[in-house]
Amino acid sequence: MGGDVGFGGSLSGVIAVTGYRPSGGSLVNSTTAYIVSQRGSKLFKIHLDDSSEAVYELKAVAPASLANTSNQFCVQVILDDSTVAYVEKFYNHIVHYVTAAGNSGSVKVTLGTEGSDEGAVAGTGSINVK
């Protein structure tokens, strides 16, 4: 799955982490964290703001809803109607998402840097990259 959705490799084009919360720690709303590689169905090695790397569990919730009972992180996706959602699962160039209202679905994603990823393309979602 690695190269299919922008994990790892050079810093250009890796999927940005929206927020993460270490076990027993405080929420970090990140501007520099990113996914390095997939380690399990919902487990990913992520590069943290302090330049360390650790395995975190992907959660389809807003950053403020991440629990500190285990290492957790989230990735935001913007749907074509500007709805904010959070990735529940990555597969190929498609993500399964959940919105704040509890609606869920699957959408093909485009990857782009902040500011260039905001264009709404019908039937797609947009994820920030680093």
23-40 confidence digits (pLDDT tens): 999 999 988 999 999 998
Beta bridge partners of 72: 21, 57
The 19-21 sheet, strands edge to edge: 28-29, 19-21, 72-74, 53-58, 43-47, 34-38
Given a contact cutoff of 8 angstroms between Cβ atoms, the answer to whether 98 and 86 are in contact is: yes
Domain positions in the chain: 2-74, 76-128
Alpha carbon distance 29, 32 (integer Å): 9
**Structure-token match 């807003």, residue found:** 62
| Nearest Cα residue to 74 out of 92, 56, 91, 94 | 56
Give the pLDDT band (50/70/90) at residue 128: confident
Question: pTM for the full model?
Answer: 0.84
Does the pLDDT value for residue 7 go beyond 60?
Answer: no
Mean pLDDT of the region 58-84: 95
Q: Identity (one letter) of the amino acid at 44?
A: F
| More confidently predicted of 49 and 3 | 49
Q: Identity (one letter) of the amino acid at 61?
A: V
Which pLDDT belongs to residue 14?
Answer: 87
Q: What percent of the chain has pLDDT over 70?
A: 82
| More confidently predicted of 4 and 46 | 46
Instruction: Determine the length of the chain.
Output: 130
Which pLDDT belongs to residue 121?
Answer: 58
